[in-house]
Structure formats: structure tokens, C-alpha cells
């Protein structure tokens, strides 16, 4: 049991370090600098897991590898946008139900406003990710690659989760903060 706990802690620590390193080295259009606000740890782990799986698939020969490389480029660009301003407001969800809203929360309002302004761009990125996942699914089926098939099916669900739950939650946080904070922000 102790060995499993030690291994789990090491995996989490390595994942966090890898994410911090990838956030610093990401050269993506949306992010001009590393995020100044944290994102929920579960989403850090989810993004890193996606990148880890894509890295494995991208090394495959044939269509699976080619499509996985293209998917990875799209995902990295979108993940940089998420880390920059889509996901950080979600860290407030628990706090908003248990404490008073203060001016210290205004940063999330600005990020939510940016999500609202960029909805078309974000939707286009999700469309591209879904198309790439469908291509990966088709390539995986042709190659009888169960790992590619499973990843592609899960990726479509993750993209839908972003559009149906995460991004609307960020917009709700922004609306809530606008209703509670003075109009100076």
C-alpha cells in the first residue's frame, strides 16, 4: 500500500512538473505568457493525460501517427488557450458557494468576458478537434488500433464536455461576478 501511495505521489508530482514546463514552453497564439491564475488540478491532469496519449499515438507509423500529430498540434494550441483564460475561473466554483465575493475575484470576471468574446474562435477549435478525433477514429479502425480508437472516442466526449459544461460554467461565473461586483470592472 505504501509503495502504491509513493508511486501515486510521484506520478502527480511529475505530471505537475511536466505541465508547468509545457506551460512555460508552449508557443501558442492564445498565450503570450504563462497563466497567472491556477486551474483545477483535475483539469491539469486531464490535459497532461491527453498529451501523453497523443505523444504515444503520434509515434506510430502510418495514418494513425500522422493524424495524431495533427491532433496534438490542435490540442496544444487549444490547451494553451484553456490554461490562459478559460479554465482558471473554474477554481472559484467551490468558493462562490461558501464565501462573500470580493474585488480579488474580479480577475475571473475579465477571463469570463474574454471567453464570451472568443466563443466563435473556441467553437471553431472544438470543431477542428472533433474532426481530427473522427479522422483518428477512422485511421485507428483501418489499422485495427484499439488504443487509437479508444482515445478518439474519449476525445470527442471531452470536447463536448468543454462546450456543454466547462465553458458555460465559466460564463455563469462571469455573469454572477458581474452581478455582485461594482461596475468599475
Region of poorest pLDDT, from 9-18, 118-127, 151-160: 9-18
Residue 27 pLDDT: 35
Long-range contact pairs involving 8-17 (C-beta distance under 8 Å, separation at least 24): 12/45, 15/44, 15/45, 15/48, 16/41, 16/44
Region of poorest pLDDT, from 2-16, 24-38, 43-57, 105-119: 2-16
| Grid cell 488504443 in the structure block, residue | 147
- For residue 141 the three cell numbers come to 479502425
Q: Residue 184: which pLDDT band, with cuts at 50, 70 and 90?
A: low
- For residue 67 the three cell numbers come to 493524424
Residue 85 pLDDT: 95
DSSP 8-state symbol, 86: I
- For residue 100 the three cell numbers come to 462573500
Please give the average per-residue pLDDT across 85-95, as a whole number: 93
> pLDDT digits over 117-139, tens only?
999 999 999 999 999 999 999 99
Please give the average per-residue pLDDT across 8-28, as a whole number: 36
Please give the average per-residue pLDDT across 11-27, as a whole number: 36
Measured between alpha carbons, how far is 9 from 86 in angstroms, rounded to an integer?
27
Question: 38 phi and psi, to 5 degrees?
Answer: -70, 165
In this prediction, what percent of the chain has a pLDDT beyond 70? 80
> pLDDT digits over 38-55, tens only?
999 999 999 999 999 999
- For residue 97 the three cell numbers come to 458557494
Residue pair 81/139 in contact (Cβ under 8 Å)? The answer is no
Closest CA to 128 of 65, 77, 57: 77
Measured between alpha carbons, how far is 104 from 85 in angstroms, rounded to an integer?
16
Q: What's the maximum distance between 2 C-alpha atoms anywhere in the chain?
A: 58
Where are the alpha helices (H) located in the chain, listed in sequence order? Answer: 2-25, 41-58, 63-81, 93-96, 106-117, 119-143, 146-161, 167-180
Amino acid at each position: 500500500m505504501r509503495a502504491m501511495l509513493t508511486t501515486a505521489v510521484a506520478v502527480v508530482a511529475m505530471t505537475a512538473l511536466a505541465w508547468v514546463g509545457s506551460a512555460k514552453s508552449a508557443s501558442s497564439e492564445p498565450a503570450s505568457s504563462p497563466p497567472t491564475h491556477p486551474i483545477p488540478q483535475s483539469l491539469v491532469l486531464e490535459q497532461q493525460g491527453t498529451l501523453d496519449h497523443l505523444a504515444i499515438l503520434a509515434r506510430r507509423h502510418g495514418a494513425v501517427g500522422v493524424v495524431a500529430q495533427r491532433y496534438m498540434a490542435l490540442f496544444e494550441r487549444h490547451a494553451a488557450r484553456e490554461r490562459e483564460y478559460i479554465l482558471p475561473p473554474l477554481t472559484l466554483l467551490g468558493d462562490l458557494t461558501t464565501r462573500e465575493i470580493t474585488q480579488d475575484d474580479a480577475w475571473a470576471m475579465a477571463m469570463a468576458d474574454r471567453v464570451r468574446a472568443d466563443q466563435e474562435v473556441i467553437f471553431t477549435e472544438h470543431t477542428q478537434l472533433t474532426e481530427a478525433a473522427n479522422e483518428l477514429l477512422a485511421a485507428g479502425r483501418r489499422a485495427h488500433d484499439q488504443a487509437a480508437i479508444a482515445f478518439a472516442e474519449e476525445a470527442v466526449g471531452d470536447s463536448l464536455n468543454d462546450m456543454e459544461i466547462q465553458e458555460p460554467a465559466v460564463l455563469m461565473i462571469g455573469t454572477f461576478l458581474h452581478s455582485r461586483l461594482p461596475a468599475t470592472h
